[in-house]
Amino acid sequence: MNIIRFLSQDPTDDVMKVLGCLRRMNFALHDLTVTPGGGGRFRVRLEYEPDGILSADTFVARVATFHGIESVAASVVGSEEATLVAAPACGMAATARGAARGG
């Protein structure tokens, strides 16, 4: 199971963009959580399963390029989590931290 997390100021719009990408890539959604993140932002967490043709890394890289989405991080359940960086133009910095199943 794969997890993607990101911050959004407009989760209604941004979650729809991400779900559309998930659908087009034929990935299965298992869980979706949106919680207040402070500063007018929301924390979004999706748990999904890739279909095997396209990679989870491709999905995460695409999401990281969406306007309005910040601090994209990806992990596999039970492994170390690392923030994946899309094109440098996105202005995201890479970080690493231990993954926790709950958030």
pLDDT digits (tens, 9 = 90+) for 57-87: 999 999 999 999 999 999 988 665 555 544 4
Domain count, the chain: 1
CATH number for the domain harbouring residue 71: 3.30.70.260
The answer to whether position 103 is within a domain reads no
d(CA 98, CA 66): 25
The answer to whether position 24 is within a domain reads yes
The answer to whether position 90 is within a domain reads yes
pLDDT 10s digits, 12-57: 999 999 999 999 999 999 999 999 998 999 999 999 999 878 999 9
The answer to whether position 36 is within a domain reads yes
Within a 10 A sphere around the Cβ of 8, how many other Cβ atoms?
22
Q: Which domain holds residue 74?
A: 2-97
Read off the tokens for 98: 């231990």
d(CA 84, CA 71): 9
